Structure 1
Amino acid sequence: MGAAMSDGCFAMFGPPDPRIRELQKCKEELKDFIQKRSCHPILLRLAWHDSGTYDQRLDNFPARGGATGSIRFDPEMNSAANAGMSKALDFLAKFAEKYPYVSWGDLIQLAAATAIECAGGPVIDMRYGRVAVGSEPEQQQQQQQQQVGVEAAARQLRMIFSEKLGFTDQEIVALAGARTIGRAFKERGGSCSFGYGDHSAGCGIAGGAAWTRNWLTFDNSYFTNHMDAMEDDDLLWLPMDASLQADAGFKPTFELYARDQAIFFRDYAKAHKKLSELGSKFEPAEGIKIQ
C-alpha cells in the first residue's frame, strides 16, 4: 500500500524521510561545535529574532513573519535589532551546506534548542519540517529596544510579546529567564554601556555585560540572583528586568521560578517551543520529530 506524495511533501510510506537522519546528525555536530565555541547565547538570540518578526494579526505565509529563516536576508539581517547576528549565521553556514535537507528555518531553531540543552537547560520537544523562505518577505521589521522606565517596560513587553506574538504574562516571564545565558554589548544595542573588549576575554569574545555570573549555564539564577545584578555594576539589570519583578501580572511567576527551577524548566521548554513555531509552515503539516 502506498500514499500519494503531495507537492513539496515526503510520502507517508516508502523511503525514510532523509531530513530525519540529517537533523539527527546535524544536532550531534552542533553539540560539539557549540561547546567548543561557547556560542550558546548568540545562536539562541538568532532563533528568537527569526521568530520575533511574527505578527499574529497577519494571516498569510510568509508575510506574517516568524521562524522561516528570513533573518538571513537583507534588510532584516542589517536592521539595528540584529546587530552582530551575521556572526551566528556564519557559524551555521557550514551546517547548511553539509546538510542540504535541513532547511534554514529548521537549522536556526535546531541550533537554539541544542544550545539550551548544552548549557544545562531542558530538552525541548521540538518540531521540524519548516519551509524556509527564499527571500525576505515584506513584513514589519523588529525595532531596536529602547531604554524605558519600569512601568513603560511592562507595557512594551506586552505590546510585543502579547499583542504581536501571542504570549501570556506567564510565558513572557518564562522566556525572560533565558537571560541566564548570554551577554549584551554596546555595539549590539543601547541597553549596555560595555562594548567589545571592555572586560577580560574569559569564554568567547571579551567585553559586554551579563545578567548572571555563570552566563553559559542555563538555570534559574536570573530569578534567584537578581539582587546581585541590581547591586553589581558589572552585571545587567534593566528596566525590563525590573518590570518582571515589580509588575502585578509578572511578579508571581518571577517569584515562583526563583523558588522552583524544575517548574521554570518545564514552562520555559513549552514557551520556547511555541516561539520556535511562530509563523512556520511545516511539511508535512504535523511536522517531524527527531527524538
Structure 2
Amino acid sequence: MNASKALPLFSRTISRRSFYLFSAATIAGAAAVTTAAAFDNKKQYNYNNRNNNNNSNGWGKFGTSIAAAAPIVHIAAINKDRTIDDYQRIYNKIAEKIREDDEYDGYIGYGPVLVRLGWHSSGTYNKENNSGGSYGGTYRFKLENSDPSNNGLQNAAQFLDPIYKEFNWISHGDLYTLGAVCAIQEAQGPKIKWRPGRVDLPESATPENGRLPDAVNGADYVRKFYARLRMNDREAVALTGAHCLGRTHLKNSGFDGPWGAASSSFTNEFFINLLNEQWKLQKNAAGNKQYDSPKGYMMLETDYALIQDPIYLKIVKEYANNEASFFKDFASSFQKLLENGIDYPKGAPEYIFKTLDDQDM
C-alpha cells in the first residue's frame, strides 16, 4: 500500500500545525499586481508579483484584510472549439481509472483523494484580493504541492498525469476540478455543474502556504475560514460533509481513522455519525487530539465543532435527516468553491456529466 494517502480537508502535519493561517502578518507595502496575457485566447489576467519578499496572504489574526492590493482578475478562457462531449471523454477516462485502480488505500480507491485535490486547489482562494483558488492550476508547482496541508495529494496528481498527457489541451485547474466532480458523482453523490476556462498560470501566481485550514480549532475558526471563501454557514456545513469520503492517515496528517463505514460512497453518513456516535476526545499515537467512537470512527475538532455551535447544529440535524437537502446544498456550494475568483463571460456553458452507470442504461 502506498504510504501517502488521502487526508482530511481540515488537516495538519504530525511535525507542525498549519498555525499560520489567519496569523498576524507584517506587510511592508501592498502587493504589486502584474498583468499578463492569458495563454490561449490572449485575454488578460492579473496575478500577485511574488518577487516582493514581503508579500503575504493579507489576512490578520481573525481573517481581517490587512493588505490593500488591487483585486486580481481571472477571466475564464472558454475554448469554443470544445464541447461537452470533449469534457465527457475526459470524465470517462477518470471514472474508468477510478474503477480500475480500486485497490488504493485499502480498497477505498482514489475518489476521496481526487476530491481533496479539487477542494484544496480551490481552498487557497482569498476573497479580499481575488487571489488563489483553482484558476491557475498552481498545485503543479512545488510551492503549493509542498504545503504541509497538502501531504498525500501527490497521489491524486500522479493519478491524473496520464489523463493530462492524453488530453493535454485541458488546463491543470480544469483537470483538478473535473477530477473532483467525477469522483463525487461516481461515488453516488450529487450531480455538480462544472464549467471550463481555467488557465495555467506561471509559478509566480502560486499562493503562499498557510491558506488551507487547520483541524485543531472550534466553530469560530471554521466560520471565519469559510468567510474567506465567500461561504455562509449553510455552505460551510455542506462542504464539510465531504468528509463522508476517505479517511485520515496518521503518517501524513497526524490523525487516524475513517469518519464512517462507507468511506467510498458519498452519503449523509458524516452528519448521522456526528449526531449519534459516542464521541470521546483523546490523544492519538501522534499526540494530537481527535474525537473517537467505539466503532472506530473519528472526528476532527473542526468536525465536532459543527454540533457545538447552535447555528451549525441545526443544519447538521437537517442534513442527517434529509440526504436530498444535503446533496442539493453540497452541489451548489462545491460548484461555488471550484469557481471562486473566476470571471465567466455571460452565457458560459455549465456542464452536467453523465456517470458511467448513466451511460450504461
* 1:210 aligned residue (258, 263, 280): 258
Contact 1:212 1:225 in 2 (8 A): yes
1:222 matched to 2:270? The reply is yes
Change (3 A) 1:135 1:281: farther
Equivalent in the alignment of 1:7? 42
Alpha-carbon shift at residue 126 of structure 1 (Å): 1.2
Counterpart selection for 2:317 from 246, 255, 274: 255
Task: Flag the structure with higher helix content.
Answer: 1
Q: Which residue of 1 aligns with 2:341?
A: 279
Structure 1: unaligned runs, 5 residues or longer: 195-208
Partner of 2:81: 17
Q: 1:58 to 1:269 in 2, by over 3 A?
A: same
Counterparts of 1:143 and 1:210, CA distance in 2 = 24
Q: Does structure 2 conserve the Cα–Cα contact (< 8 Å) formed by 1:170 and 1:253?
A: yes
Moved more, 273-282 or 45-54: 273-282
Instruction: State whether structure 2 residue 134 is matched by structure 1 residue 67.
Output: yes
Q: Which stretch shifts more, 114-123 or 17-26?
A: 17-26
CA change 1:36–1:290 in 2 (3 A) is: same
Q: Equivalent residue for 1:107?
A: 175
- TM normalised by structure 2 equals 0.66
Q: CA deviation at 1:288?
A: 3.5
Check conservation: 1:24, 1:290, Cα contact below 8 A: no
Q: How big is the shift at 1:214?
A: 0.9
1:74, distance to aligned residue in structure 2 (A): 1.4
Match of 1:174 among 238, 241, 264: 238
The structural deviation recorded for 1:55 is: 0.2
Q: CA deviation at 1:143?
A: 5.1
| TM-score of the two chains, using structure 1 as the length reference | 0.82
Structure with the larger strand share = 2
Q: CA RMSD in A?
A: 2.2
Q: Which runs of 5+ in 2 are unaligned?
A: 1-39, 44-76, 102-108, 280-292, 353-361
| Residue of structure 2 in register with 1:266 after alignment | 328
Matched, 1:91 2:91: no
Q: Which whole-Å deviations, capped at 9, do the CAs of 1:242-264 have from their partners, x for residues lacking one? A: 11012022111000001100000
- The residue identity in structure 2 corresponding to 1:47 is G
1:122 equivalent in structure 2: 190
Contact 1:96–1:102 (Cα < 8 Å) also in 2:
yes
Task: Look up the match of 2:125.
Answer: 54
Bigger CA drift: 29-38 or 254-263?
29-38
Alignment check: 8 A CA contact 1:80 1:144 kept: no
1:240 to 298, 302, 308: 302
Q: Secondary structure at the match of 1:7?
A: coil
Q: Number of aligned pairs?
A: 258
Deviation, 1:109, is 0.4
Determine if contact 1:31/1:118 at 8 Å carries over to the other structure: yes
Change (3 A) 1:86 1:287: farther
How far residue 233 of structure 1 moved from its aligned partner, in angstroms, is 6.1
Q: Percent identity?
A: 29
